[in-house]
Structure 1
Amino acid sequence: MRIAFISFEYPPDTAVGGIATYVNQVAKMMKSRGHDVEVFSASPTRAVSEEYEGLLVHRIHTNNTQAFPKLVLPVFEERHLKDKFDLIESPEYKGDGYEIKRRFSTLPMVVKLHTPTQFIHEINFTYNILLSGSQKLRYILGGLLRGEIRQPYWKQHIWKKDINDIDYQVTAIADQIHTPSISLGDHVSEKWGIPREKIFNVPYPFIPNEKFLEIPIAANPVTKKVTFIGRLEIRKGLVELTKAIPYVCEAVPDVTFTFVGKPIASIVPGMMMDEYIKKNLPGYESKLEFTQAIAPEIPKLLAQADVCVFPSIWENFPNVCLEAMSAGRAIVASKQGGMYDMLSSPEAGLLVDPMQPREIANAIIKLLKDPELRTSLGKAARHKVLQAYNQEKIGGVMEGYYNQLVLKTAR
């Protein structure tokens, strides 16, 4: 098959997030399976077609995600008319392949879900949406007392179907839709009115760093280090984790918490998340460590961790959890989103309600007090990630769905 991946994000020029990592991995994976693969991406500095890591990559000179779908069309059209593609894949996020599909309506398009913009917005404003009835009433009445008719601002942040939303538009015209996590497929089906059977479950492939696999799994019965890795932001569940920390410290006095990642805004205007955590944990300063590590330092930080905690309010299919699994760590993770898929059936970690601090604390305490459980879950996690998400397995699944679509279109 001739396959084109259409993605604003692609390394090294626009390696800004998980989409870039995914497209880079699957493009190389599909080429290794004998397919002819090209990538169409963006660059803030140049317009070029070049060989990069064994693939032909066409870089469109733009740093504007909204402009990219139109700007990529003529470059793609020239290549397609010269040597026709059998199929294109686009993320739903920002609708990268939308204009190409509109121009070439019979060309099969797969849309890979990553997390729609409106869903990200809803998660980031969770604490506005969850205002109590009395808080909402006080806001409305306060406006009336001032002669104002205040709109319920919390409703602005709820994800709902919008036919003018480019994420929805590109998904609606897709010939096939793939979701990394079962949860994301369920949400998209419900919010956008797409039959769930039309959304296929296709996890991201994972290529583990050999340094992760070299980390011994056997738990250290002496140390008590809990590690969070990721951006320090609201949607990663750090507000509730902050509330959980005193319970853990009370039960395990020699525990320490290490936060690895760049601080982003907290729920308090003008306050970054690391400041928020410190401000809300007076007296626990000696238990907290903050660092911004670069990728080569992550294996060492995971090797030092006794428990990894990822209590995201909701997250699609976080790579950091897959890394912790490959490192054989004991993991406490949110049951909302893709980590449920990763750590259940069979059990490979402890899943918690991310909005329940005591539940988060109890799971951390359970693991800190039971080295044997940490070891057994670490073994299960490493086995699961190597068996379920390897390139051969995921590549076969993707190839099967691609073939199915191409054959269906050819009839």
Structure 2
Amino acid sequence: MNIVYVTGLFAQKNEDILGGMPRYIYKIGVLMQERGHNINILTTGHKDRVWNYQGIEVHTICYTPICSENRFVKYILNPMKRDISFNNALKSMNQIRKIDLVQYAGWFGVGILYNRKMPSVLRISTYSRVQLSTEYSKQELDIMSWSERMAARNFDGIFAPSKVTAQVFSVDVNRKVSVIRTPFVIDLSEDEEDQSVWERKLEEKKYFLFFGRISKDKGVVTIAKCIYKFLQKYPDCYFVFAGNVAYGINGFNSLKLVKRMAKEYNDRIIYLGQLEHKQLYPIIRKSIGVVMPSIMDNLPNSCLEALYLNGIVIGTRKSSLDEIIRNQISGLLIEIDNERQLLTCMSNVMEMKEDERKRMKENAIKELERFEAKRLAKQLEKYYEEIIIAFRKSKRIL
């Protein structure tokens, strides 16, 4: 198959660090390429060009959004303008080589004007009203979520990586939303990891780790609420953050809140910024445990990485993390925004015996068998084939 992945966000140069949704697109592109398919990524940038990102051909189209604080312009008009450019680019690519299927990244209204000229699927990467409820005003969320629902009308199939996202979106758009999990792939061997940041900042320190987007929806405020008591109880322990700081409503900064709530212990809050995976992996591996108290998530790859590299992960129920972790068996689960339970879990991890840690990590590794990359890539390939057959049948009927 000739498959094009369409996304409003991707790397702009070969050394860019991919996070979240762009990283999924790259990984699934590599897996499909390994299965013999021709893969292209279509995205936006500052100029038109065709280039190569670590083995995948990328078509970047020049797109400049209209600068305006008007919500209609930002969240409706700009996505429409972007989609017209995507449609034109797909038409040109299809003339050079027939496209068998396009997959759009469901993210901030991408696909709202998709023209249905070829078989298509939408993967729900982000559903704003569910996953970004703490980052935008109600008015902004209403508009963004509307544009995401409008985009869903245009596609032959819709899927999401988590049950919780699929169920909510299915009800809101009154359509079937399949669940296809994110394949788990570790990019590097332990020998390829870069220990330099760990050696410079963390060597000989005991620490818990949070990594990913540092925001309210990822549960950082829950960490803030219990951080003082934790650091007070364990005076030789640190808490480490790695990732981009997200600025919520009125410029709210979750990381600053954590430091403020830590009071006189704020020197034991360490912020590393965004790291390459080769730098981040040893930091995950050598932490006491990874804290991920998300309010809502969408089966994040970060949780799979933490299970594989560390094995001790604290997540939340009803956030999609409970679709990965089994409480007290392959990790620990707390209720959403329950700082008391988070403090208890962190204390329990601190007191864990080595054989308990080893057993939990072994169970975590077993959980990852459900996310085995080749099997899930084959499942996605079968889904694509069903979509293509249904599309051709509908065209014959018309």
**TM-score category by the smaller chain?**
0.7 to 0.9
Q: Is the Cα–Cα contact under 8 Å of residues 180 and 316 in structure 1 kept in the other structure?
A: yes
1:11-90 equivalence runs, <5 A: 11-13=11-13, 17-44=19-46, 46-64=47-65, 66=79, 67-90=81-104
Match of 2:134 among 100, 115, 123: 123
Structure index of larger Rg: 1
Which residue is equivalent to 2:213?
A: 231
In the TM superposition, residue 202 of structure 1 has moved relative to its aligned partner by 0.8
Structure 1 position 357, deviation (Å): 0.5
Q: Residue in 2 aligned with 1:288?
A: 269
Q: Residue in 1 aligned with 2:185?
A: 207
Q: Is the 8 A contact 2:149 2:173 kept in 1?
A: no
Residues 228 and 263, structure 2, Cα contact 8 Å, conserved in 1: no
Partner residue in 2 for 1:10:
10
Matches within 5 A, 1:151-190: 156=139, 165-190=146-171
| Structure 2, gaps ≥5 residues long | 66-77, 194-203, 394-398
Q: In structure 2, how many angstroms separate the alpha carbons of the residues matched to 1:17 and 1:297? A: 14
Q: Name which of structure 1's ranges 354-363 and 89-98 shifts more when overlaid on structure 2.
A: 89-98
Separation in 2, partners of 1:260, 1:160: 31
Contact 1:227-1:305 at 8 Å conserved across structures: yes
Q: Matches of 1:248 and 1:180 in 2, distance apart? A: 34
1:298 aligns with 2:280: yes
Give the SS at the match of 2:314.
strand
| Structure 2 counterpart of 1:146 | none
From the superposition, tell whether residues 323 and 158 of structure 1 become closer, same or farther in structure 2 (CA, over 3 Å). Answer: same
Q: 1:286, CA displacement in angstroms?
A: 4.7
Corresponding residue for 2:75? none
Q: Deviations over 1:229-253 (max 9, x none)?
A: 1232222211111112244345545
- CA displacement 1:315-336 (0-9 Å, x = unmatched): 1122222221121331111223
CA-CA distance at 1:212 after TM superposition: 5.4
| C-alpha deviation, 1:207, in angstroms | 1.4
Aligned twin of 2:352: 370
Structure 1 residue runs of 5 or longer lacking an equivalent are: 126-153, 216-221
Whole-angstrom CA distance in 2 between matches of 1:173 and 1:271: 35
After TM superposition, the structure 1 = structure 2 runs for residues 347-358 of structure 1, keeping only pairs within 5 Å, are 347-358=329-340
Question: What's the secondary structure of 2:324's corresponding residue?
Answer: helix
Any idea what SS the aligned residue of 1:284 has?
A: helix
Cα distance in 1 for residues equivalent to 2:161 and 2:191: 23
1:112–1:179: 8 Å Cα contact kept in structure 2? Answer: yes
Give the distance between the partners of 1:317 and 1:373, measured in 2 at CA.
25
Deviations 1:195-245 (A, max 9, x none): 4xx211111122113345999xxxxxx975211112322222111111122
Query: In structure 2, do the counterparts of structure 1 residues 304 and 52 end up closer, same or farther at CA, with 3 Å as the change threshold?
Result: closer
1:99 and 2:113 equivalent? yes
Deviations 1:345-379 (A, max 9, x none): 99421011131110111111111111332222222
Asked if the contact 1:119/1:159 (under 8 Å) is kept, the reply is no
Q: Deviations over 1:23-64 (max 9, x none)?
A: 1111221121122222222222x2123454444432101243
User: Structure 1 residues 60 and 193, CA, compared in 2 at 3 Å: closer, same or farther?
Assistant: closer
Give how far 1:18 is off. Answer: 1.9
Shift of 1:402: 0.9
1:259 to partner: Cα distance: 2.1
1:284 shift after superposition: 2.4
Aligned counterpart for 1:276 among listed residues 257, 265, 270: 257
Q: Which residue, out of 325, 341, 349, partners 1:359?
A: 341
Percentage of matched positions with identical amino acids: 20
Q: Which amino acid aligns with 1:200?
A: S
